[in-house]
Amino acid sequence: MAKSEATNYDSASAPAPKRKRGKGDTSITNEEVQLALEELDEEEQGVRSRKRQPAAEIVSPMFVVTPIMVSKAKERVDKLIAEKKKQAAQYLLERDEKLKAIGKENCDEYYVEKIAEVKEIAGGAAQDVVKEAQKVLEKNQGTS
């Protein structure tokens, strides 16, 4: 009976075991570590100093900004700012309409009143704490 290639285990060798990596060279001295740290610090300072330098004016001989271009850019910026303000106003109107629909017409006043109540309660609590502290001090002075 002939063996097929798939069942012929005798000719196939087992895969080589994977080699584990060693921990590396542990003979690094403190001096080498200090040198490496100093080099790293110098590199970081170089990067930081480049970031701190003010950007130089970019001069391109192929592109010249004309007064017309400046005015068009300013108009565009003004138009974008106006559009953003318009969107903010529209959002506030829609928000107020939604609040009215659910019965919260004076929502802002409601929150102002609640903030005032919270401040009043906090002030009363602070006074209570001071009174309790005075009582404790009086007891401690009386026993001393």
Domain map (residue ranges) of the chain: 67-105, 106-138
Tokens of 90: 């529209």
In this prediction, residue 50 carries a pLDDT of: 55
> What are 46-60's pLDDT values in tens digits?
655 555 566 666 677
Residue with tokens 């969107």: 87
Distances (CA, A) of 7 to 1, 4, 12, 16: 12, 6, 10, 20
How far, in Å, CA of 54 to CA of 51, rounded?
A: 8
Query: Quick check: 33 and 40 in contact, CB under 8 A?
Result: no
Task: Name the more confident of 32 and 125.
Answer: 125
> What are 84-121's pLDDT values in tens digits?
999 999 998 898 888 788 777 766 777 777 888 898 89
Rg (CA), the chain: 39
Query: Quick check: 42 and 35 in contact, CB under 8 A?
Result: no
The rounded mean pLDDT for the chain is: 78
Residue 116 backbone zone (phi > 0: left; psi -120 to 50: alpha; other: beta): alpha
**What is the end-to-end Cα distance of the chain in Å, rounded?**
108
Residue with tokens 């026993």: 143
In this prediction, residue 49 carries a pLDDT of: 56
Query: Quick check: 34 and 42 in contact, CB under 8 A?
Result: no
How far, in Å, CA of 90 to CA of 95, rounded?
A: 9
- What pTM did the predictor assign? 0.33
How far, in Å, CA of 85 to CA of 79, rounded?
A: 10
